A and B are shown apart, each in its own frame.
Chain A
Amino acid sequence: MKKWYLGLLGILLLLLLAACSGDDDDGSSETDGAEGTSDEVTEGEDGEITLEYWQYSFDSKVNLMDELIQEFEEANPGIKVKQTNFPYDQYNEQVAVQVPAGRGPDVINLFYGWVPTYVDAGYLQPLPQDAFPHEEIESEFFPLVEATKMDGEYWTIPTAVRTLALFYNKDLFEEAGLDPDSPPTTWEELEEYAVKLTKADSNGRLEQSGMAWEPAQQGHQWLRDGLTRQAGGEVLSEDRKEVIWGDDPAGLEAFKYWLSFPTDLGTSEQGFYTDDVTAFVTEKAAMNVDGSFRIGTLQNDAPDLNYAVAPLPGNVEQSTNASFWTNGITAKVEGEKLDAAVKFLQFLTSDEVMERWLDEIGELPAKEAVAMQDKYVNDEIYGPFIESLPYANAHFFVDETKERELVINAANKVLMEGADPEDAFNELVESTQALYDEYWGDK
């Protein structure tokens, strides 16, 4: 027994020693390692520049990217691009673990909501203004790309964007005696339709949901950029420092309207058939707010699903949520390599690539002139998404995961703990403000 204690003591001592002595060693070896590798990378083979491009694994994106890279390399001899992919779930982890090792991409594809975190960590460099002048970005691209403009600089630029719209099941519409060609356009109509499309058994258990409702999926986006702005409110102040969600009664109005689906109207249930997408695909939910990125999934998983898309029903205003994956250049890229990275980015944001991105992946062109062409606006499926682009808003996240969680928790407090919606909403605004204060406090 005594020996055993001695052993334990020994281990603890060792741990303590390691904790204290690690300091200077690690600091120096870290920077050494980073410098060493970055030198290695810039040299490349035979004066050839190799760009490392990272994006998440999404089959159609990876394939199109492979084609595009080949074309880019042919047009730009001396530049090679190497694509690396990680699964979406592990993307941030993979990026994160490669950084301390001094390795990583030169051009990286990021979800726009993550960009502030990356900029904050000093991982990205601003886009060079000579190649991407601000006036040009602001006149050509949809205003939503400003979500990644920080400290007066554009840090990333997207090829394509996505918006939210209302997906509805035409068969279930007909079954409920609704015209499948006239989807709801206002809040009142949406309520009315949802109620008509809902079926419950004698015990009050939902059998068919009129309106899928999942805060953890697109629900929180619908609330922020859709409902709140439709009611005439705004989540953030112009300078993005204040959460003004609660300043205007529209914020609470939107929150209450949003919650009325699972409560007063009884048309929805959180976790109904596990999630909104499953419920919609299996025809258990008649309507759902979802993004243009879902079209591919629906085509693959439910080719027979008879659905249509309509712009989000509005109130005093029209609004929808937009989001995008966007490309940035990492901080350590410089010299010739930076020129190559800029060229690659310019290629990725060219009109032609944007068109192909829509044709093959289904994401909408980020430039207004490309998106608003007749052939796209009149498209049965893509049309409603593109139609909503001019008034779409991409919420500036300081911490996407946490902000999402706060909305989910606010909803659950009302739904599960019977909290007063107003209290839950005020708490949501306060805790979101706390996140922003923390973020801006470091600046």
Chain B
Amino acid sequence: MEQHSVSQENQGKKTPPIQKKPVKQKFWKKLNFQKYLFVYVCLLLPLIFYLGIRILPTLFTFNVGFREWNLLSTEAQPFVGFDNYVTLFKDEVFIKSIVNTLIYIVLGVTGQLVFGMVVALLLHKINRFVGFFRVIYFIPYVTSIVAISWVFQWILMGNGIINDVLVKLGLPAQPFLNSPDQAIYVIIGAMIWQSIGFQMILFLAGLENIPDSLYEAADIDGASPWQKFWRVTFPLLNPTIVFSAVIGTITFIQVSFTQVVNMSMDGSGGPLNSTISVVVYIYQLAFRQFDMGLASAATVILFLFILGLTIFQMKVLTKKFDY
């Protein structure tokens, strides 16, 4: 049986076996061709779909960004060159949104990675209740962002539970989301808390892949736990860290929309634009002010921003370690 199926496969790969009759061979070839055609067509369908609803519109955005494009207008959309880009870079709110996005990414992704790794390392060490803890840490990740955002709003409001505790401890009540200085960090905290579970899974998988023999060798050499972590675990987790950082950055840019809209006090990146992110601003430009030209230009900038960041991360974070 094994032999037979192997020879069939070989036929498909243009290496005809010598011992077969030509007629039969032709038949098999035809059948195989049809089979592959079918498989490829099936595989191509989603590709066309993807091309149509993802890639082409993305490319079209570049075109829109160079035009004065009012979404409601049915008239021609004049070409304005780089006007939209110039307007954006003169726009204080847009600059603020870029700075905020950077803060979201730098603090958020670092926080996610650190906490995710710590949780994974701890979970890796225990033998009992592993499943229980994994569930506990993973639940926030699969809970609705909107629901969580509102729960945080209630916990953090002036009369909320956290302020009650602070006051009981003799500390002054904090404005949290009502303060332009604190709101963004509160939101980042909520986002980190929610994504720890996902990072934990990635890191656990990475840890499983580190062979025990390396630790045994380190033990024989008399390495301290700290040395073992920095010399064995950390370098070998590198691929996981790069992957987590890239994925984390991209999701952070996306998620900073839902969280910000639901947690900021005016629902649009307030107070005083202190929590506005680029995606929230793009949404406002496009669907509140109907200025597709500006919104597309901002999207292009965001695209280049993500592209640059990803290249940077891959360059800086990827290192080869051979053991």
Q: Which of B74, B79, B289 contacts A23 (CB 8 A)?
A: B79
Contact A117 B178 (CB under 8 A): no
Interface centre among B62, B179, B268 (most CB of A within 10 A): B62
What residues of A have a CB within 8 angstroms of the CB of B289 in the complex? 399, 401-402
Query: Once bound together, how far apart are the Cα atoms of A136 and B77, in whole Å?
Result: 38
Tell me, yes or no, whether A6 is within 8 Å of chain B by CB: no
Q: Given the known A-B contacts A93-B287, A99-B71, are A405 and B268 also in contact in the complex, defined by CB atoms under 8 Å? A: yes
Known: A203-B167, A205-B159. Is A416-B71 also a contact (CB below 8 A)? Answer: no
Q: B163 to A205, Cβ gap below 8 A?
A: yes
Q: Is B76 among interface residues, defined by CB-CB distance under 8 A?
A: yes
Among B3-11, B110-118, B150-158, the one that faces the other chain is B150-158
Q: Is there contact, CB below 8 Å, between B79 and A205?
A: no
Q: Is the CB of A18 within 8 A of B73?
A: no
**Complex partner residue of B178 from A92, A120, A271, CB under 8 angstroms:** A271
B180 near A417 with CB under 8 A, answer yes
Residue of A nearest to B168 (CB): A203
* Contact flags B51-67 to A (C-beta < 8 A → 1, else 0): 00000000110110110
In the docked arrangement, what's the CA distance between A204 and B77, Å? 56
Q: Given B177, B270, B290, which contacts A412 in the complex, CB threshold below 8 Å?
A: B270
Interface of chain B, main secondary structure: loop
A271 close to B63 (CB less than 8 A): no
Which A residues are CB-close (under 8 A) to B211? none
**Distance between Cα atoms of A408 and B177 in the complex (Å):** 15
* Residue pair B158, A269 in contact (C-beta under 8 Å): yes
A18 near B290: Cβ-Cβ < 8 Å: no
Q: How far, in angstroms, from A412 to B273 measured CA to CA in the complex?
A: 10
Q: Which of A89-108 contact B (CB under 8 A)?
A: 92-93, 95-97, 99-100
Contact present for B287 and A416 (CB under 8 Å): no
Which B residues between 162 and 194 are near A, CB-CB below 8 angstroms? Answer: 163, 167, 173, 175, 177-180
B74 CB to nearest chain A CB (Å): 6
Question: Are A412 and B154 closer than 8 Å at their CB atoms?
Answer: no
For B73, give the chain A residue with the smallest CB separation.
Answer: A121
User: Is A9's CB within 8 Å of the partner chain B?
Assistant: no
Whether A412 and B271, one on each chain, are in contact in the complex, defined by CB atoms closer than 8 angstroms, is: yes
Does A257 belong to the interface (CB within 8 Å)? Answer: no
Chain A residues near B179 (CB-CB < 8 A): 416
Q: How far is the CA of A26 from the CA of B59 in the complex (A)?
A: 13
CB of B153 within 8 A of CB of A274, answer yes
A123 within 8 A of partner (CB): yes
User: Who on chain B is nearest to A96 by CB?
Assistant: B71
Judge if A206 is at the interface, Cβ distance under 8 Å: yes
Taking a contact as CB atoms under 8 Å apart, the answer to whether B76 and A270 are in contact is no
* Cβ contacts under 8 Å, B167 to chain A: 203, 205
Provide the A322-345 mask, 1 if CB < 8 A to any CB of B, else 0.
000000000110000000000000
Complex interface: chain B residues within 8 A of A26 (CB) = 60, 63
What sequence of 0s and 1s flags, for each residue 275-293 of chain B, a beta carbon within 8 Å of any chain A beta carbon?
A: 0000000001001111000
Q: Check B72–A96 contact: CB distance below 8 A.
A: yes
Which residue on chain A has the smallest CB distance to residue B167?
A: A203
> Contact between B71 and A100 (Cβ–Cβ < 8 Å)?
yes
B214 → chain A closest CB, angstroms: 28
Which residue, of B153, B177, B288, has the highest number of chain A Cβ atoms within 10 A?
B288
Interface residues of B in 219-235 (CB under 8 A from A): none
A27 to B69, CA, bound (A): 12
Segment 177-225 of A: residues with Cβ below 8 Å from B? 203, 205-207, 216
| B76 shortest CB reach to chain A, Å | 6
Contact B157 A271 (CB under 8 A): yes
Contacts of B284 in A (CB 8 A): 401
Most B CB atoms within 10 A — which of A19, A97, A272, A409?
A19
Please name all residues of chain B whose beta carbon is closer than 8 Å to the beta carbon of A413 when the two chains form the complex: 272
Residue of A nearest to B175 (CB): A416
Contact A121 B59 (CB under 8 A): no
A122 x B74 contact (CB < 8 A): yes
Q: Provide the residues of chain A in CB contact with B290, threshold 8 Å.
A: 92, 96, 117, 121
Which residues of B are found within 8 Å of A332, using beta-carbon distances?
74
Known: A92-B290, A206-B159, A271-B158. A123 touches B72 (CB 8 A): yes
Query: What separation, in Å, do the CA atoms of A93 and B284 have in the docked complex?
Result: 10
Chain B residues near A27: list those with CB within 8 A: 76-77
Q: Is the CB of A271 within 8 A of B177?
A: yes
Closest to B93 in A: A405
Is A14 in contact with chain B by the CB < 8 A criterion? yes
B266: interface (CB < 8 Å): yes
The 8 Å CB contact of B158, one of A15, A92, A99, A206, is A206
Assess whether A273 is interfacial by the CB under 8 Å rule.
yes
User: When chains A and B are docked, how far (Å) is the Cα of A417 from the Cα of B175?
Assistant: 13
In the complex, how many angstroms separate the beta carbon of B221 from the nearest chain A beta carbon? 34
Q: State the CA gap A303–B290 with chains docked (Å).
A: 39
Distance (whole angstroms) from the CB of B302 to the closest CB of chain A: 14
Asked if A22 CB lies within 8 Å of chain B CBs, one says yes
A401 to B285, CA, bound (A): 11
Verify if A298 is at the interface (C-beta below 8 Å from B): no
Instruction: Pick the 3 closest A-B CB pairs, nearest first.
Output: A121-B72, A22-B63, A19-B62
- Residues of chain B whose beta carbon lies under 8 Å from any beta carbon of chain A: 59-60, 62-63, 65-66, 70-77, 79, 153-154, 157-159, 163, 167, 173, 175, 177-180, 265-268, 270-273, 284, 287-290
The 13 sampled A-B contact pairs (Cβ below 8 Å) are A19-B62, A19-B65, A96-B72, A117-B72, A117-B290, A121-B74, A121-B290, A270-B265, A273-B159, A274-B153, A284-B159, A405-B268, A417-B180
Known: A19-B59, A284-B159, A416-B272. 16 other contacts (CB 8 A): A14-B59, A19-B65, A22-B63, A92-B287, A97-B71, A99-B73, A122-B72, A203-B173, A205-B167, A206-B159, A271-B178, A332-B74, A401-B268, A409-B270, A412-B270, A416-B271
